[in-house]
Amino acid sequence: MEKSSRRGFMGKAFGAVAGVGAIGSLVAMKKSWDPLPSVAAAGFTEIDLSPIEENKLVVDKWRGKPIFVLKKTAEMVAEQDEAESARDVVVNGSHYMITIGLCTHLGCIPAYRPGKHNFLCACHGGEFNASGIEIKSPPPSPLVIPPFKIVGSTVLLGEEGPEYQKMKADGVVA
């Protein structure tokens, strides 16, 4: 009886030591898989909007992801509804769609069809309009607008400017 309770104590002691060790190692293992600081700090991208032509998609890169910049024609702006206009980035009177160029379904890059003014994702057939709003399933949400700041005729991606914060306040971006 005395022996078995002593063994019981040793068992519990080992359990406690192993438990603390297990939790500690899980924390270390989780942290080891986190993006490295150099990756997380991966900088900002500046895009000069002045040379961009209307209805011609420009693809840049921010944090390894493709960025779509589409300058809309006056016709396209005239035709669009409020929800679409709310997503426009307006610089010097011109309307731009600026989004991360990854389909919100599973992350393929949709292709722009200038004739139809929309995007088609080849992976699963999803479509987005020229404002990046999904118009055909399976994508569940619009193309994501990255944090941006307007500086003169350029946009700086990675920093939240007042226009981006307004979109945030209006619920256009999450």
Partner 1 sequence: MAHFEKATSIKDWLNQRLALDKVEKVMASEYWIPKNINFLWAMGMVLAITFTLLLVSGIFLLMYYQPNVDTAFDSVNYTIMQEVGFGWLWRHIHAVAASVVFLIIYIHMLTGIYYGSYKKGREMIWISGMLLFVTFSAEAFSGYMLPWGQMSYWAGMVITNLFSAGSLELNGVVEWIRGDYVPGQAFLNRFFMLHVLLLPLAIIALIGIHFAALRIPHVNNQDGEEIDFEVESKKYLEGDKAGSKVIRFANDFMSKDMFVVSVFLMFFFYLTFWNYGFAMDPVNFDPANGLVTPAHIYPEWYFLWSYEILRPFGKDVGLIAFAIAQVIFFALPFMDRSQNVAPANRRGLFGIWFWAMVVDLIVLTAMGKLPPEEPYSTIGKIAAYLFFVLWIALPFITKSEKKL
With respect to partner 1, which residue has the nearer C-beta, 71 or 126? 126
What is the gyration radius of the CA atoms in the chain, in angstroms? Answer: 25
Amino acid at position 98, single letter: I
Stretch that binds partner 1, among 21-29, 64-72, 147-155, 159-167 (CB under 8 A): 64-72
With respect to partner 1, which residue has the nearer C-beta, 3 or 31? 31
Gap between the Cα atoms of 19 and 95, Å rounded = 58
Stretch that binds partner 1, among 26-34, 45-53, 83-91, 165-173 (CB under 8 A): 26-34
Q: 82 is written with which tokens?
A: 């409020």
Tell me if 77 sits within 8 A of 93, measured CB to CB.
no
* Contact with partner 1 (CB under 8 A) among 129, 139, 149, 157: 139
Gap between the Cα atoms of 119 and 66, Å rounded = 14
Q: Should residue 35 be labelled a site residue for partner 1 when binding is judged by CB under 8 A? A: yes
Angle at 133 between CA 136 and CA 92, to 5 degrees: 150
Q: How many residues bind partner 1 (CB under 8 A)?
A: 30
Q: Should residue 142 be labelled a site residue for partner 1 when binding is judged by CB under 8 A? A: no
Q: Should residue 172 be labelled a site residue for partner 1 when binding is judged by CB under 8 A? A: no
Amino acid at position 78, single letter: A
Which residues of this chain interact with partner 1, rule CB under 8 A?
Answer: 30, 33-36, 39, 42, 59, 61, 63-66, 104-109, 111, 122-125, 137-141, 174
